[in-house]
């Protein structure tokens, strides 16, 4: 025997509709037996409160016992006892009510009037009991599905949060290394860089618990990052951000673009001004992100480096946020490295 604290059946509206249909059918059966619609209607109205009240009581007993739908030996035993007892009560009351209402029981029944009515309502309550068990089993199944889905969502969210948080110390380490170098040569520029870093980290902390944000917010974070890098490189870095207006309100995995932009900045051509271009366009249900920088793919960082970790993080989060719905390529196009990211549909948030 299993336990579940819920009512029977699942829907009050469905229950009322079912009993309304039953009483109509019950009336039709009585008309067929008594051959008098008025007598049949009077007896149906007289017995209806008792029949419905006992059904509610049976459901309450099953709820109290905690049955969730398995028709095991205890459940079957209670079904037989309660159905038989309730059918017997209806038969007894009907046997008393008929003479009082001047209604005669028709001749030719296979069983005595009391046994016929008792057997009929015993079947009715047995069917009601089975309906209660079925409703409870459905409810238990849905509850288990919700628990499984919630557990899966919690696991996904935890993994996404871990990957998301991995980016903060990763970026901070890069930025602080740059500031430390600048303090030795240009303290004023280092102070400016520190101010821009503060703005970026404020945005990062605000979005800490948000795995998904709008493209507008993501671009704001990337722009703050580029300001930090502009302060670091000065005229040695040229950066442009071009986002289609229709893309700004779309959802995107938080801090998904920053590692790609960081990769473009860190691996721009060493002995020439670094140029980084970010463009975001809407293509039907998909977003197309294009990041271009001066440099060579052969200069890309190995997997264990800081930028390599960032790219691995991006790929891992793409697999979780956009399973089977993303495409990321890195290609050499002349003197530029072009990263193209296509995101189809909305990201999975894990919530």
**Mean of the pLDDT values across residues 251-273?**
82
6 pLDDT band, cuts 50/70/90, is very low
Q: How many H helices and E strands in the chain? A: 8, 7
- Interval 280-325: pLDDT, tens: 999 999 999 999 999 887 655 555 454 566 788 889 889 888 999 9
Question: Residue 302: its pLDDT value, please?
Answer: 52
Residues 6+ apart with CB under 8 A from 212: 251, 252, 253, 254, 321, 346, 347, 349
- Interval 100-109: pLDDT, tens: 998 887 776 6
pLDDT: which is higher, 170 or 79? 79
Name the percent of the chain lying above pLDDT 70: 83
Q: Are 263 and 308 in contact (CB under 8 A)?
A: no
Residue 69 has pLDDT above 70, yes or no: no
281, β-bridge pairs: 288
Residue 328 has pLDDT above 50, yes or no: yes
**Mean of the pLDDT values across residues 333-346?**
93
Question: Which domains does the chain show, CATH number per domain?
Answer: 12-148 (no CATH), 186-344 (3.30.565.10)
Q: Are 39 and 103 in contact (CB under 8 A)?
A: yes
C-alpha–C-alpha distance, residues 106 and 89, integer Å? 20
Tell me the three state secondary structure of residue 252. strand
Residues 6+ apart with CB under 8 A from 88: 118, 122
Residues 6+ apart with CB under 8 A from 288: 280, 281, 282, 340, 341, 342
Reported pTM: 0.56
207 pLDDT band, cuts 50/70/90, is low
Tokens representing 270 are 């060493």
Residue 152 has pLDDT above 60, yes or no: yes
Helix ranges, 101-214 (H): 113-185, 187-206
């Amino acid at each position: 025997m299993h336990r579940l604290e819920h009512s029977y059946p699942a829907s009050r509206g469905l229950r009322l509709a079912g009993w309304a249909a039953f009483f109509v059918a019950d009336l039709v059966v009585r008309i067929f037996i008594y051959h008098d619609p008025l007598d049949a209607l009077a007896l149906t109205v007289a017995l209806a409160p008792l029949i419905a009240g006992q059904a509610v009581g049976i459901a309450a007993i099953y709820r109290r016992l905690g049955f969730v739908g398995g028709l095991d030996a205890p459940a079957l035993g209670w079904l037989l006892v309660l159905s038989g007892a309730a059918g017997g009560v209806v038969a007894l009351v009907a046997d008393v009510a008929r003479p009082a209402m001047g209604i005669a029981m028709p001749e030719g029944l296979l069983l005595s009037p009391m046994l016929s009515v008792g057997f009929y309502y015993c079947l009715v309550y047995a069917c009601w009991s089975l309906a209660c068990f079925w409703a409870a089993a459905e409810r238990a199944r849905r509850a288990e599905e919700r628990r499984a889905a919630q557990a899966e969502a919690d696991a996904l969210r935890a993994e996404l949060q871990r990957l998301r948080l991995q980016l903060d110390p990763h970026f901070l380490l890069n930025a602080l290394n740059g500031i430390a170098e600048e303090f030795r040569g240009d303290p004023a520029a280092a102070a400016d860089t520190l101010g821009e870093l503060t703005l970026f980290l404020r945005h990062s902390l605000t979005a800490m618990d948000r795995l998904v944000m709008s493209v507008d917010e993501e671009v704001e974070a990337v722009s703050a990052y580029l300001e930090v890098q502009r302060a670091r490189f000065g005229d040695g870095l040229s950066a442009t951000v071009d986002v289609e207006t229709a893309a700004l309100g779309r959802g995107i995995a938080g801090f998904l673009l920053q590692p790609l932009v960081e990769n473009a900045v860190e691996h721009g051509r060493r002995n020439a001004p670094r140029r980084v271009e970010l463009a975001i366009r809407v293509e039907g249900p998909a977003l197309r992100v294009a990041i271009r920088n001066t440099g060579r793919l052969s200069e890309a960082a190995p997997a264990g480096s800081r930028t390599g970790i960032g790219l691995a993080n991006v790929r891992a989060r793409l697999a979780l946020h956009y399973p089977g719905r993303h495409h990321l390529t890195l290609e050499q196009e002349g003197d530029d490295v072009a990263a193209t990211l296509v995101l189809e549909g909305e990201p999975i948030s894990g919530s």
